[in-house]
Amino acid sequence: MADSHRYSFGPLERRGLLLGLGPLQLSTIAAGLLLAVTARAGLAGTAGLIAALVVLLASLVGALWTREGRPLVARGGIAAAWLLRNRAGPAFDPAPTTGTATGVRKGRVDGRAAPGPRRMVPGMAVLEDPGLPGEEPLGVIRDSRSGTWAAVLAVRGTPLALLDPPDQSRCLEGWRQVLGSLCRPGSPVVRVQWVQRTWNGSEAEVSDGRGWDAGPEVMPGRSVRRAVPEWGGGSVSSPSDSYRQAWAEVAPRITYHDTWLVVAVGSAGERFAHQPGRRRGDEVLAGLRREMRILGAQLTAVDLRPGPPLHGDELADLIRRPHEEAARRRRVARPWPTAVEDRWSCCRADGMWHATFWVAEWPRVEVGPDFLGPLLLGEGRRSVSLIMAPVGSERAEREVRSARTADAADRELRARAGFLASARRQREADGVERREQELAEGHHDFRFSGYVTVSGPDTETLAAACAEVEHAAQSCRLELRRLYGRQLEALTWTLPLGRGLR
């Protein structure tokens, strides 16, 4: 049997403007020098000298002392912003935020003016486009902040961990082809996100739902108890009662895994050729429907089973479900939580507590196709999200040339100043060269970022689940960093909204 391919990731690039220092660090040092000079000139004698030294030392510490890859001045800014946001306590927003885009093709979007919950998802609305005659309704996520329109579909397939290494490599090659189809010239796609959710059977109260029955096996969207016929007149010894009793014992130990794909298209620029007599919203929605059809065909061609794009109610339920103690499938009046509480290390949305981590470092050693298995196949309630943005070939080539020039200048400047080159900086330079080689071979370029959200009904359960996720990430050779001070915002990055990249 042939061996599977091996994959590796470069280190996170920390390229700065001067000697590896970023704009914020250089500004802090410059401000410290200015204040030190002002203090020395304004205070006479020893007091002025001491004040100048204290100010200069504080600026150097704030700019140069880093923790978890972030300078102290940046962490101070995050803390100040968090204090300002939370000075009024938990946020409540009873206003509905769903709407039906019944007038999109007439130039109106009903419900679009209804804002999202305060401090949760500003500028976001869940709409439904009824489509042209003969088309299915399409649930749309309208992000007015970034100017994107997104749609979601469910995807199922054979678990990667159950395949042989050659089949695993073949599946990853098929996924590469799917991503490549979204990077074609003139494509309106600006974001691609996949979200994988894990939840236990003890928390499930599910019913039949559209787009879930991908085969004869039992799916989370199909209630097993409702599928069992009433045999034997409901007596104690009837097969149906025995089956239900067995299911009641087994269900709490079952872990379900759902995967969703989000495609977001942009509405600005020349991505859509404007046609006389048609409004911009019509063209954007037509382009979004076209991209979803292309994506579905591409996924089917690589042996995956995509479901139809979600309707508006289904999309609202999908966004709402992580905030409920039970994973119900039902019609909801609003997708967003009624009340949220943003703490430093976690946040609360209605009845659930959440903690979100950022994947700061990906494996730097060669790994196999299933290296994320321990994280994706774990138990408990968690969401893993990978958000990707295609980069045009011309822009990617410019970025690579700029990065190589900056590396060469930084290396020469460090050599003149007497600094030794570290192994990490050499790996970063090697990663830039490899990226240039891949672009020359015709590969597509993506910016991407990964996030993991852990959920629990109380803080004790959440703490235990976070420890399990951090251990699983270590087994995957991932480095997770808790997004302190940004938990409520980070929670939206693991929801199927197409957010998480700037």
The answer as to whether 114 is a domain residue is yes
pLDDT at 332: 60
pLDDT at 118: 41
pLDDT at 278: 52
The answer as to whether 350 is a domain residue is yes
372 and 480 fall within a common domain: yes
59 and 101 fall within a common domain: no
8 A C-beta contact, residue 463 and residue 164: no
The answer as to whether 340 is a domain residue is yes
251 and 181 fall within a common domain: yes
The answer as to whether 187 is a domain residue is yes
The answer as to whether 103 is a domain residue is yes
pLDDT at 205: 47
pLDDT at 309: 93
pLDDT at 222: 43
Tens digits of pLDDT across the chain (502 residues): 445 678 878 777 776 666 667 778 888 888 888 888 888 888 877 888 888 888 888 888 888 887 766 788 888 888 888 888 777 666 554 444 444 443 333 333 333 333 333 446 777 888 888 888 888 899 999 988 888 899 999 998 877 777 888 888 888 888 888 888 888 877 889 999 999 998 776 555 443 334 333 333 334 444 444 444 544 444 455 676 777 777 677 666 677 888 999 999 986 544 444 454 456 677 888 889 999 999 999 999 888 899 999 998 889 889 988 887 765 555 565 788 888 888 999 999 888 999 999 999 899 888 888 889 889 888 888 999 999 999 888 888 888 888 888 878 878 877 887 777 777 778 888 888 888 888 888 888 888 999 999 999 999 999 999 999 999 999 999 999 999 999 999 999 999 999 888 7
122 and 42 fall within a common domain: no
113 and 64 fall within a common domain: no
159 and 268 fall within a common domain: yes
* Boundary of a domain, candidates 37, 57, 78: 78
31 and 66 fall within a common domain: yes
The answer as to whether 403 is a domain residue is no
Provide the domain count of the chain.
2
Q: State the residue range of the domain holding 48.
A: 26-78
3-state SS, residue 91: strand
* Boundary of a domain, candidates 78, 97, 120: 78
65 and 147 fall within a common domain: no
165 and 35 fall within a common domain: no
Give the phi and the psi of residue 352 in degrees, each rounded to 5.
-125, 145
DSSP-derived secondary structure for 370-424: TTTHHHHT-SSEEEEEEEEEEE-HHHHHHHHHHHHHHHHHHHHHHHHHTPPPPHH
* Boundary of a domain, candidates 44, 61, 78: 78
The answer as to whether 5 is a domain residue is no
73 and 175 fall within a common domain: no
The answer as to whether 199 is a domain residue is yes
131 and 71 fall within a common domain: no
114 and 237 fall within a common domain: yes
- Dump strand ranges (E) for 231-350: 255-266, 305-306, 327-328, 339-342, 347-349
